[in-house]
Amino acid sequence: MIDGMKMLDVGLWHDPNGVPVLLNNDRLTFGALVDTNTGAIINPIRKAFDRGLTFRIVPRRTGEGQRVETKGSLHKFGNFGEHDADQFTANDLLLTLDQLVTNYGIDPFTSKINTIEFGVNLELPFPVAQLLDNLICYKNKPFRCDTGSKTPYYECRFQRFTVKLYDKGKQRGLDGNLLRVEVKVAKMIYFDKTGVHLNTLADLLTIANYRPLGVLLTDTFNRILFDDPTINPDTLSAREREIYRNGCNPRFWQIPDNLTTTQANTHNQRLLRTERRYRALLDKHRRGENRPAQTAALIAQTWEQLTNVSDHLLTCIDERRAAWQHLTKHGILPEENQAERVEDNKRNPPKTDPPQIPNSCNGAVINPPSTCHELTGLVSLDCGNLAGGNCHELTYIEIPDLSRINPLYSGLQSDTENTPADRQPDPVICPVTGVLIEEPQPGQRFVSASMLRNDDDLMLTLDNQHRQYAKGSKEDEYSRAAHNVRNVYSNRRNNLRRSINKIHHNPTLFDVSETLRLTADQRAALDQ
């Protein structure tokens, strides 16, 4: 169902003293990179890790305060950071979001989602390789295999989304034929005109989104072209053989970049006709089962099972949303932070009693997998008695040690491992963005594509400010943004030189060299 997500500006609720609850959370320890000799902060961004989620505190570029980023797998978080190879239902999603709200103080109604992944884990009745080895293309674009991964990992990337397929069972060392089919949405405009209205974290519990998400996933898979190794080209006619050989060639489906709009549309229509003939040829001459059709049916069936919402679960969702609104409105602390607050209240009694979460059938989940709240109907609950109700555990995984839940030491070690303790980074400032380049390459003056991949805030800013080469560029979005930054700097100088040269080369009655006046900024640009 729902897996990875990223939020670049998380909404947080605060305790009665106005302090964000996340910063005082016992589960998280935020660390920053510092110079061990001088104590100077090398990178002001602070990170913390817990159960498959990464939290980052990032200074805002405006200089006014900080923002909190959260990214990671909700599915893995629901499994205590262990894995995401099982099934993740709507019931599990509710429990997971409830933990994010109650354990970390995240406001689900104001936390905007910037990236989301949705997909399914399928148990196939045939080896996964029989499907992956026959991938051709999606929307005329070939799949790319990640050769750096131990598990064959295929993806087809576009500006707004990426289609992913890989052997989840092989990745996790599991028996069986477990295929992962997933769509990663990089720009939420992808959902426009699809019937999916997904903006905030709370929208993940909007039941009306589930069916169109499943339709999107199934339709995406159905548009993938596959080869069929059971077809013998020697048994085909000359015309059929040409269609089959062209169809099996990923390069045949690519539309050249040097075509005009009219030519590209004509070429695309020709490919659509060829695709219909190719699919018809496969259906006619295939020997054996239609593996892609079987997989598409399993995707639709599995998605429907994962997103099945009973009346009881729907009631629980409504009650939890009401409880979250109560929390965010009054700023109630999580249960594990109450002890310190009680001591403070003894010394300084509050003027009014803090509001309490209303009793319901699915109160806040604080410390799984101790007792949690029944949402599946497997065990009857006393909905009016939260403390004494019969509950079941979310999964059968034991609670891992703290080092496995919060591997902060390993995360920080990877950040500092290549940073010499006796070397200060060169103070190179990008003249366009004003960003400090921490470890510049020889001669580097501007932000690079690799820097932008690790700085979502700056990437979004540049993407909104500079739209050059946005259409038809062969570069990825990060390389294109870095290219645009360099152009902003160089175009100013080059355009000014062209203007001056044009004045000098055009015939005039008088010599303009003595009357031409440049501002200090213009002269500085020419001297660069």
**What does pTM read for this prediction?**
0.65
In a domain, 179, yes or no: no
Amino acid 44: pLDDT: 81
Q: Is 18 exposed, middle or buried (0-12, 13-18, 19+ CB in 10 A)?
A: exposed
Shared domain check, 522 and 440: yes
Amino acid 303: pLDDT: 96
Q: What's the domain range around 439?
A: 428-527
Amino acid 515: pLDDT: 62
Shared domain check, 516 and 434: yes
Shared domain check, 432 and 396: no
Written as tens digits, the pLDDT of the chain (528 aa) is: 899 999 999 988 776 665 677 877 888 888 777 777 777 777 788 888 989 899 998 888 877 788 899 999 999 999 888 888 889 999 999 999 999 998 888 999 999 999 999 999 999 999 999 999 999 999 999 998 876 677 778 999 999 999 999 998 888 878 889 999 999 999 999 999 899 999 999 999 999 999 999 999 999 999 999 999 999 999 999 999 999 999 999 999 998 888 898 998 999 999 999 999 999 999 999 998 999 999 999 999 999 999 999 999 999 999 999 988 877 665 544 444 443 443 444 444 444 333 333 333 444 333 344 334 333 333 333 333 333 333 333 333 333 333 333 333 333 333 334 444 444 544 678 887 777 777 777 778 888 887 877 777 777 777 666 655 555 556 777 788 888 888 877 776 677 666 666 665 666 666 655 566 667 666 665 555
Shared domain check, 395 and 322: yes
In a domain, 177, yes or no: no
In a domain, 250, yes or no: no
Amino acid 257: pLDDT: 85
Amino acid 136: pLDDT: 95
Domain count, the chain: 2
Amino acid 275: pLDDT: 94
Phi, psi of 56 (to 5 degrees): -130, 135
Shared domain check, 433 and 518: yes
Q: Which residue has the tokens 């599990």?
A: 92
Amino acid 516: pLDDT: 62
Paired tokens of 8: 């670049």
Amino acid 119: pLDDT: 96
Amino acid 300: pLDDT: 96
In a domain, 72, yes or no: no
In a domain, 506, yes or no: yes
Amino acid 412: pLDDT: 35
Shared domain check, 517 and 451: yes
**What Rg value do the Cα atoms of the chain yield, rounded?**
28
Shared domain check, 432 and 392: no
In a domain, 376, yes or no: yes
Amino acid 518: pLDDT: 65
CB atoms within 10 A of CB 90: 22
Dihedral sign, CA of 488, 494, 500, 502? Answer: negative
In a domain, 133, yes or no: no
Amino acid 405: pLDDT: 34
Shared domain check, 435 and 394: no
In a domain, 208, yes or no: no
Going by the DSSP 8-state scheme, the letter that residue 380 receives in this structure is -
386 in Cβ contact with 360 (< 8 Å): yes
Amino acid 490: pLDDT: 73
In the sheet with 141-142, reading across from the earlier edge strand, the strands are: 141-142, 135-138, 224-226
Shared domain check, 385 and 315: yes
